[in-house]
Amino acid sequence: MEPPLRKKAWKHRVLRLWLVVALVPLAGAALAESYKAGAIEVTDPWARATPKGASVGGAYMTITNRGSESDRLAGASTPAADRAELHQMLMKDGVMTMRPVQGGLEIKPGETVILKPESAHFMLLGLKRPLAQGERVKLTLDFAKAGKIDIDYVIESIGAQGPSAGAAAKDHGVDHGAMDHSAMDHGAIGH
């Protein structure tokens, strides 16, 4: 009677191992950073490390409005810089330029807005010290309806195209490596 029983127990152990393997990707997804206030959810805030002496940096994130009313991201502040300005990149006469978003960024009901390099982003102006890879820096977002949300953004490598923890890094298929955001002329737009 004993051998069949032992065989059963072994099978059980294999099944359990497979369950662990199957659950690992779920655990990874759960690690994505998420912050909520009212109907607004902010996930995977991140920024690029900045070279020594740089006075500006960019901060990025994914914002979802789960409510039934439109909200507006009015601005933000961070202890790491003098100011955080909401910018939009746009193509003008074949040249990528950026300018401050006037009146805040609207997030419609059910809409997800991704702030990312070469798109809408927070420009950190007057960095008090370089943003170092691996650090976490506080940013306080100010929404017209949801109010203030404190988030911690993760500093990724200088050339990072997305947050290492989130899925957003994977859907960014275009290589913008040749474009150096920090080298852009910020003087022209009134910084």
**Cβ contacts of residue 127 below 8 Å, gap of 6+?**
50, 54, 55, 56, 57, 80, 81
**120 sits near Cu ion (criterion: CB under 5 A):** no
- Using rule CB under 5 A, residue 123 touches Cu ion: yes
Residues 94-113 as x/- pattern, contact with Cu ion by CB under 5 A: ----x---------------
Shortest distance, position 65 Cβ to Cu ion, whole Å:
23
Residue from the set 59, 80, 87, 153 that interacts with Cu ion by CB under 5 A: 87
Nearer to Cu ion (CB atom), residue 17 or residue 96? 96
The footprint of Cu ion on this chain (CB under 5 A) covers a number of residues equal to 3
Residue 116, interface with Cu ion (CB under 5 A)? no
The CA distances from residue 33 to 4, 40, 135, in Å, are: 47, 14, 14
62: Cβ contacts below 8 Å, ≥ 6 apart: 42, 43, 44, 112, 113, 114, 115, 166, 168
By CB under 5 A, tell whether 48 contacts Cu ion: no
96: how many CB neighbours lie within 10 A of its CB? 13
Residue ranges in contact with Cu ion by CB under 5 A: 87, 98, 123
